[in-house]
Structure 1
C-alpha cells in the first residue's frame, strides 16, 4: 500500500451509516439481475442483455446504491456494470468517495484497477470545496496507479485522468495534472522549465488533444482538430517545438503517459515543413529510439519512435536519411527496427535508391577532413578529434607538440568546448561501430560500384575510409572477369594494385569474398597480407566460407549443421544481438521456452532464421536462463512486405555463407565446450556433449584459425616447439607435452590426455602481427602455446598442482 491511505480523511460514524444505508437491499437487487444476465455470457457486455433495461428504469438513488454495492468487485465486466450504474445523472457525495477509497484500502490496496472504477467516476463530479482535503490522498494514489504496470494501460490511463481532473478542480490548475506528471523525470523538468508556456491560452487544450492519440497513425478528424487547436493556442507551433526540443535534450526514458503525449506532439510538428522542423524531428526520432545502456534494447519512448520514424521518412533533405540509417545500425528493439527498415525502403524508393544505397549515402562525416581529423583551437591549445584504427579519440597539442591528456586550463576555462569535443568523439565512435557492421554486411550482397562512386564512398569518406582502405576489392571492365587488388594512395588519388603492386584498370568495383575465389588465390592473398603487415577491420581474406552440403540439399528447407549444441545463453544472446540478429529473450515464463533469431542479408532481400531453445534444469529454481540448445537454420526471400520460405538450393552463395558463418560464430564462441572450467563444475547434464565437442572435427572457422596458425607459427620464437595436426596444436614444454584443440582452445596433457584448466584473462602474443582482430580464440591459443612452451618457468601454484597431479583442480591461471 502506498502513502495515500495514510493521507485519506476518516468518515464519522454518522457519515458511514448514511453511505451504507440500503446497500444490502441494493446489492441483492443488482445481483439478481446479474445472475439472470449471466446466462447470456454477460462477462463481455452485461449491459447489452434485455434484463439490463430494468436497471436503467431504477430511480437515481437506487442506481447510486447499486453502484456502491458493486464497488470493488474484481470479476470481469464489473467496471462496465459500475459505469452504467453511475451515469451522469447520479449524484454522489464526498462521503461516498471517501467510503469507496476506504474499502479499497481495507481490501489490501489496488488490484487490477477495477476497484478504482467508481471512485474515479465520483471524484470529478464533486465541487472544489468537497475535494479540498482529499487532494493529498488523490495525488498520492494517482502517482501509485501511474507507475503500476500490472494495471492494464487503458484502465490505468483512464483512472489517472479522472483523478487528475478532480485534483485540478480542487487546486484551480489550468494544466491537467495527469499531463507531464512526476511518473518520470521528464514531466517535472518540463513543468519547471516552461511552466508559463504550458498554461498559456489554448495550450492545455492542445496538450490534452495530443495525449489522446491511441495509434501511430492519426485520423483525418483528429488532424483537423489538431490544426484548429494549433491555430487557437497562444504560439501553439512554437510551444510544440519547445517541448520536443526539451525531450531531445532530456535523452532519458519517459513514462507511458509522456510517450503518448510526445507522439501527438510529433504529429503536430509534422504539420510544419521547414528545414528546422525536419532537423528537430530527426533529433526527436533519434532520442525516442535510443535505449538506456543498461537496458535490453527497449527505447526511451517506443510509441513516439514508431510514429516519428514514419513521419521522418516523408521529409526532404539529408537529416532523415542520416538519422534513419544510423538507427538501422543501432536499434535493437524489434518493433522500432522493423519500422526503421520499412521507412528506409520507402524513402529510398521515393528517391530512387536501394536500401543498401540509402545506408551508404547517409554516413555522417561529422565535419572530419579527408585525413579523418577535425582540428579546433581551444584557448592556446589545438584540439583534434581523429580516427585511429577503428576508434575515435581526442588529443590536445600546444605549438605542435602532442600532450598526454586534457590540459588543466582547458578543463577550467573551456568546459563547454571540451564537452562538445567529447560528445563529438562519442558521435564519431558510434558511426564507426555502425559503419563497420554495415561494410561487413556488404559481403553478403552482389553490389557493384562505378570506380568514382566507390572511391568517394569507401576511400575518400573520412569515416568509411578507415575500413575501405584495408579491404580487398575486385575490379572489372566487362563485369565478367574480375581482378583483385588492395587500395593504394598515388599522387593522382586512390587506385587498386595487385600483389605485385601493379595498378589495375578502372572499371566496376565490388567487394572481394573468398567464396568467389579459388583456393590458390585465397592462399596467395593470405600470405601477402601477413607479409605486408596489414590488419583488416574484420576477417575478409581469412574469412571462413560455408558451402551447401548434400545433407542440407536433402532436408530442402533447413540446415541442421549447427543443431544440438549447448550455449551459454546470456553470452550467446549478447553476441547475436551485437551481430545484428533480432530475437525474443528466452525465459522460464510461459511462452519463453523457444526463440527464433532473424537477420536480413543480401541487402535486405533475404532473411536467415536461427532456432534456439531453453535448456531447462528441473532442479534449478533460477528464473534467468543459463543455457540454450541450438536447432535449425532456415532462409526466406522477401516478397513485398512479407517473407516467403526458400529452399536451401535457392539461397545465393554469399547469403548462405555469411549467415552460416554467424551461427558458427555463436556456437564457436559461446558453446560450453569453450569453457575451460566446465569439467570442474560437477554437473553431469552436459558432460557427454562437452567431451564430444572439445575434440570434435574442426568447423570452417576453426579451419581458418588453423591456416592462420600455420602461417604465424614459423615467425614465432616457439616455432621449433610446436606442431600442427588436423585438430590440435601440439606444444613441447620442458616438463611434458600438450595438445591444444583448435576449435575449443582446451588443453590436454600427454601422455594420458589429462585435462589442464587454464583461463586466459588477457591474450599475450608479444609483437606478433595478426591479420585480423575478431577471433579472440586465435590469440588465446597462441598465448597458451607461448606459456606452455616454457612450462618450467610457470610459478602459479594452481597450474603447478595440475601438472604434478596430472588432473584438473578446478583452479585457473590468469595469464
Structure 2
C-alpha cells in the first residue's frame, strides 16, 4: 500500500515537539489496546481513552487524528486487526470537530497512501482509511474559510480525476470532492466529471470540454445536479433546481441536446461479457455479465430523464418509450437491465398527459415484470382521476391516430406519394410516382427529404405498435363486460383513424334505450346483422355498445356469424366469432370451489411465465432456492367482479432441472380457483363470461407451454418420468382451443389445395402423401405416420412464413398452431419433394 512521492503530492509533515510526540504515541497505543480488548456490546465512543481525547480541545484532537493516521500508515498486512481498529478510531474522531489546517489535511491524505497509479481504481483500494469522512471535514473547513488554497485544490482535482473511473464508495468520494471544489467559486463554472466507463459518460465529458466559456457555467450547473438523482423520484428541492437550470439554459436548447443524449442511451449496445470464476477447490463457474452504462452514469441518466420530463415533446416521448423498454429488458441471472433508469422513464411519461399515457400503454405490453406493470396501471389510474374518467376511458382517449383516416395516410414528397396503410394488422408503406407504384422509397428522396423519411418510418413503427397494443387490450377486455355510450364508441373506436381498423372487423352488441339489443358487424360500408341484412344507422337508437362474445349468443347464431365472415373473407383481428367458450361442467359443479380441468400438465416454466404476464396474470418464477413455497399460483385480478382467479402450479423438482440461477425448468399444474377476500368462491357464483375467459387463458397456457407441444422434447432430454404425459398430450384428447381449431379446419380444408388428399378424422388431420399417410394432431401439431404410428419430428421455422401457409385465408389472427398444422400438411402432401435430410431420414 505504500505510495511513492510521484503518486502523492509532496507535503511537509507538521512540526510536533518530541515530548508531545511521545505523549501521542502513548495515547494511540492506549486507544488501540482498549479498542482491541473491548467486548462486542461496548461502543467505541464508550472507551475511557477515547473519551479522554474527546475531553480535550479541537487542536489536540486534530493532532491525535494525525498520530492515528501515522500509525495506520505503518501497519503491514499482518497488522490488519490493529489497522482496522485505528481506522475506526480515526473515523470516530473525524465525525467531530478537529482543529486541522490545510497542510494537516494534505498530510492526512498523504498518510492514507491514496495511490493514483492504477488505470482503473478499485472501491476496495483504500480499505481502512476514512477518506469520505476526511472529505466531509474538508468540506466544513472550506465553507468556514470561504475558499481553499491552491495546493489542496490541486490535490482534490487529482483525486476527482482518479475517482471518476470508480464505482461503489468511490462514487460518493467523487461527488463530495466535486462539492468541495465548487465551494467558494461563484465566478467559476462548477467542477463536474463523469465516469468514462461507457459512451454516455464519455460524451458528457466531451460536451462540457467543448462548450463555449460563456455557456459552461449554466450547463455544468445542470449536469452537476444529475449526479444527485439517487432517489426513486426527484425531491421537491431537486425538481426546483432542475427546472431553474433548464430555464437558465433555455427549454428548447435542453430539449434538443437531451434528445441526442436519450438517443445515445437507446443506441448503446447491451454487450454480454463471458466471465470465469475459479473456486479454491478447483471448481470453475462460467457466467456472463451485461454491459450497458456504469452504476454512476445510470444515476446521471436518471437526472437527464427527470430534467426532460417537463420539456418533453412527441420525439422525446418516443425516445423515452424506447429507452423504457430497453431498461426493462430481462437479463439472464440479473433481471431487468436498468430498473432505476426505467422507473425514471415511466415517471416522465406519466407526467406528460394523454401522449404519455399512450406511451405507457404501448410499453406495458413489452414489460413482463409484475411490479412494473402495476406501476404503469397506477400512473394510468392517476391520470384518469385527474380527468374524471375511468382508466379504460383514459386509455381510449390516449390512443393517437397518427393522421390516419380509416387506417390510411397519404404524404406527398415532391413528385412522389407515400401511402401508409394498416392492412390485416400490418402497417405498410407503398410509394407512387404519377400514379405508378414503386417497389421502395425513391433513392432521390433520401438526400432531399431525409428527415421526413425518418419521421414517416417512425410513424409506421409507432402505428404498428399502437395497433398491436390496442388489439391485445381488446382481447383481454371481454372479461370486463364493458359497455360504452354510443358517442364514446363512435369517437374513440368506430371513427378513429387507427382503432377503426379493429372496431370495423369485430361484432358489436348494440343496446337500445328500451332494453332491446341487436348484434351487428360493419360489412361493405354498412352495419349488418348475423343474416347479412343491412341495419338502420345505430346512432339514432343505440344507447350503449359492448364487444360481442359467443357466450352471449346461441350456438346457431355463432355458426351463422362464422359463415358470414368466411363468405365475405373477413379476417378478424382477434378470435371473436371463433372464440372458445368454457361452460361449467358437472365435475366442476361437484367440486364446487375449484376446477381440475387444467390440472396434471407439465409446462415449461419460463414460457408459462411469459404467457401469463402477456395476458395480465401475476406470477413469480419458482426456484430451487425457495422450493416454490413463496409462489405457487398465477393470479389474475378481476376488479370489475371483485374476484381474483388463481391457477395453482408446483415445481417439478427433478435432479438438475433448473438453470444457472436456480429457476426450475418445469412446473406441474393443479386447480383453478376464484377467490374474494382470499376466500374461495363457488364456481356457479362466478359470472359465466369471467369463468370462460379465465379458463380460456389457462387453456392457452397449457396449449402453448406444455412440453407435449415440443416435437423434440421426447428425444432431447425430456424427463423420463413424464414420457407418458408427453405421449398422451401430443396425441390425446383435444382441449377447447383444439376443438375450436378442429371446427375451423373442417370448414377450411375442403377449400384448400390439401383438401383432395386430407380429411379430419378424430383428433387428427389425416394427410395422404406419396410415401406415407400422416396424422397431424389438432392439439399439439405433432405427427404420426401410418400404419404403425411411427413418430415424425418436424420442427417448424417460426421466424419465417412457413412452408406456404401464409397465403391461406384464416378468419382470425393469432392461432400459430393452426398455421403450423396447415404448413405441415402442405409439406407432407408432397413428401416426394422434401429435401431436408433430417426429415428424409425419418421417412
Greater displacement, 504-513 / 544-553: 544-553
- Mapping for residues 658-737 of structure 1, pairs under 5 Å: 658-681=693-716, 683=718, 684-719=720-755, 721-737=757-773
Residue 278 of structure 2 corresponds to none
Describe the shift of the 1:555–1:502 C-alpha distance in structure 2 as closer, same or farther (beyond 3 A).
same
Describe the shift of the 1:612–1:89 C-alpha distance in structure 2 as closer, same or farther (beyond 3 A).
farther
Q: Is contact 1:248–1:283 with CA below 8 Å preserved after alignment?
A: no
Residue 618 of structure 1 corresponds to 655
Q: Is contact 1:546–1:660 with CA below 8 Å preserved after alignment?
A: yes
| Residue 62 (structure 1) aligned with residue 64 (structure 2) | yes
Choose which of 172, 182, 204 in structure 1 pairs with 2:196: 182
| Residue 783 (structure 1) aligned with residue 829 (structure 2) | no
Describe the shift of the 1:190–1:60 C-alpha distance in structure 2 as closer, same or farther (beyond 3 A).
closer
Q: Is contact 2:424–2:571 with CA below 8 Å preserved after alignment?
A: no
- Mapping for residues 273-292 of structure 1, pairs under 5 Å: 286=321, 289-291=324-326
Alpha-carbon RMSD: 4.8
What does the per-residue CA deviation read over 1:114-165, in whole Å, with 9 as the maximum and x for residues that have no partner? 83762344467496535747866763444231xxxxx4xxx46423323545
Structure 1 position 362, deviation (Å): 1.1
Choose which of 399, 411, 415 in structure 1 pairs with 2:446: 411
Choose which of 133, 151, 156 in structure 2 pairs with 1:129: 151
Describe the shift of the 1:617–1:709 C-alpha distance in structure 2 as closer, same or farther (beyond 3 A).
same
Structure 1 position 533, deviation (Å): 1.6
Choose which of 792, 796, 814 in structure 2 pairs with 1:774: 814
Structure 1 position 780, deviation (Å): 1.8
Describe the shift of the 1:213–1:790 C-alpha distance in structure 2 as closer, same or farther (beyond 3 A).
closer
| Residue 495 (structure 1) aligned with residue 527 (structure 2) | yes
Describe the shift of the 1:401–1:645 C-alpha distance in structure 2 as closer, same or farther (beyond 3 A).
farther
| Structure 1 residue matching 2:127: 3-state secondary structure | helix
Q: Is contact 2:416–2:432 with CA below 8 Å preserved after alignment?
A: yes
Structure 1 position 399, deviation (Å): 0.3
Residue 628 of structure 1 corresponds to 666
- Mapping for residues 797-812 of structure 1, pairs under 5 Å: 797-803=837-843
Structure 1 position 656, deviation (Å): 3.1
Q: Find the aligned partners of 1:589 and 1:414 in 2 and give their Cα distance.
A: 57
Q: Find the aligned partners of 1:559 and 1:113 in 2 and give their Cα distance.
A: 61
Q: Find the aligned partners of 2:163 and 2:680 in 1 and give their Cα distance.
A: 55
Choose which of 387, 398, 401 in structure 1 pairs with 2:433: 398
| Residue 742 (structure 1) aligned with residue 742 (structure 2) | no
Describe the shift of the 1:561–1:186 C-alpha distance in structure 2 as closer, same or farther (beyond 3 A).
farther
- Mapping for residues 4-15 of structure 1, pairs under 5 Å: 9=7
Structure 1 position 404, deviation (Å): 0.2
Q: Is contact 1:310–1:339 with CA below 8 Å preserved after alignment?
A: no
Structure 1 position 363, deviation (Å): 0.7
Choose which of 564, 568, 571 in structure 2 pairs with 1:532: 568
Choose which of 414, 424, 431 in structure 1 pairs with 2:466: 431
Describe the shift of the 1:82–1:259 C-alpha distance in structure 2 as closer, same or farther (beyond 3 A).
farther
Greater displacement, 523-532 / 668-677: 523-532
Structure 1 position 784, deviation (Å): 2.6
State the number of aligned residues: 769
Structure 2: 5+ residue runs without aligned partners? Answer: 139-147, 267-291
Structure 1 position 366, deviation (Å): 1.0
Choose which of 4, 26, 32 in structure 2 pairs with 1:30: 32
Describe the shift of the 1:716–1:51 C-alpha distance in structure 2 as closer, same or farther (beyond 3 A).
farther
| Residue 751 (structure 1) aligned with residue 787 (structure 2) | yes
Q: Is contact 2:91–2:130 with CA below 8 Å preserved after alignment?
A: yes
TM-score (norm 1): 0.79
Structure 1 position 511, deviation (Å): 0.8
Choose which of 76, 82, 89 in structure 1 pairs with 2:98: 89
Residue 806 of structure 1 corresponds to none
What does the per-residue CA deviation read over 1:77-134, in whole Å, with 9 as the maximum and x for residues that have no partner? 999765323345275555653554569999x984679837623444674965357478
Describe the shift of the 1:697–1:582 C-alpha distance in structure 2 as closer, same or farther (beyond 3 A).
same
| Structure 2 residue matching 1:524: 3-state secondary structure | helix
Choose which of 793, 800, 804 in structure 2 pairs with 1:764: 804
Structure 1 position 636, deviation (Å): 7.3
Describe the shift of the 1:502–1:6 C-alpha distance in structure 2 as closer, same or farther (beyond 3 A).
farther
Q: Find the aligned partners of 2:46 and 2:318 in 1 and give their Cα distance.
A: 48
Structure 1 position 503, deviation (Å): 1.3
Q: Find the aligned partners of 1:7 and 1:752 in 2 and give their Cα distance.
A: 87
Structure 1 position 468, deviation (Å): 1.5
Structure 1 position 422, deviation (Å): 1.3
Describe the shift of the 1:572–1:198 C-alpha distance in structure 2 as closer, same or farther (beyond 3 A).
farther
- Mapping for residues 153-192 of structure 1, pairs under 5 Å: 155=169, 157-165=171-179, 174-177=189-192, 180-192=194-206
Q: Find the aligned partners of 1:726 and 1:263 in 2 and give their Cα distance.
A: 59
Q: Find the aligned partners of 1:636 and 1:121 in 2 and give their Cα distance.
A: 57
Residue 402 of structure 2 corresponds to 366
Q: Find the aligned partners of 2:782 and 2:245 in 1 and give their Cα distance.
A: 72
Q: Is contact 1:470–1:536 with CA below 8 Å preserved after alignment?
A: yes
Structure 1 position 674, deviation (Å): 1.2
Residue 148 of structure 1 corresponds to none
Q: Find the aligned partners of 2:248 and 2:796 in 1 and give their Cα distance.
A: 66
Structure 1 position 291, deviation (Å): 2.0
Describe the shift of the 1:584–1:790 C-alpha distance in structure 2 as closer, same or farther (beyond 3 A).
same
Residue 119 of structure 1 corresponds to 131
Choose which of 555, 573, 598 in structure 2 pairs with 1:519: 555
Q: Is contact 1:513–1:541 with CA below 8 Å preserved after alignment?
A: yes
Q: Find the aligned partners of 1:527 and 1:14 in 2 and give their Cα distance.
A: 97
Structure 1: 5+ residue runs without aligned partners? Answer: 146-150, 804-815
Describe the shift of the 1:35–1:90 C-alpha distance in structure 2 as closer, same or farther (beyond 3 A).
farther
- Mapping for residues 411-490 of structure 1, pairs under 5 Å: 411-478=446-513, 480-490=515-525
Structure 1 position 497, deviation (Å): 3.4
Q: Find the aligned partners of 1:560 and 1:65 in 2 and give their Cα distance.
A: 76
Structure 1 position 356, deviation (Å): 0.9
TM-score (norm 2): 0.77
Structure 1 position 166, deviation (Å): 6.9
| Residue 385 (structure 1) aligned with residue 420 (structure 2) | yes
Structure 1 position 746, deviation (Å): 1.5
Q: Is contact 1:288–1:300 with CA below 8 Å preserved after alignment?
A: no
Structure 1 position 523, deviation (Å): 2.2
| Structure 2 residue matching 1:678: 3-state secondary structure | coil
Q: Find the aligned partners of 1:463 and 1:79 in 2 and give their Cα distance.
A: 67
Describe the shift of the 1:678–1:284 C-alpha distance in structure 2 as closer, same or farther (beyond 3 A).
closer
Structure 1 position 782, deviation (Å): 2.4
Q: Find the aligned partners of 2:301 and 2:10 in 1 and give their Cα distance.
A: 45
Structure 1 position 342, deviation (Å): 1.2
| Structure 2 residue matching 1:680: 3-state secondary structure | coil
Q: Is contact 1:385–1:425 with CA below 8 Å preserved after alignment?
A: yes
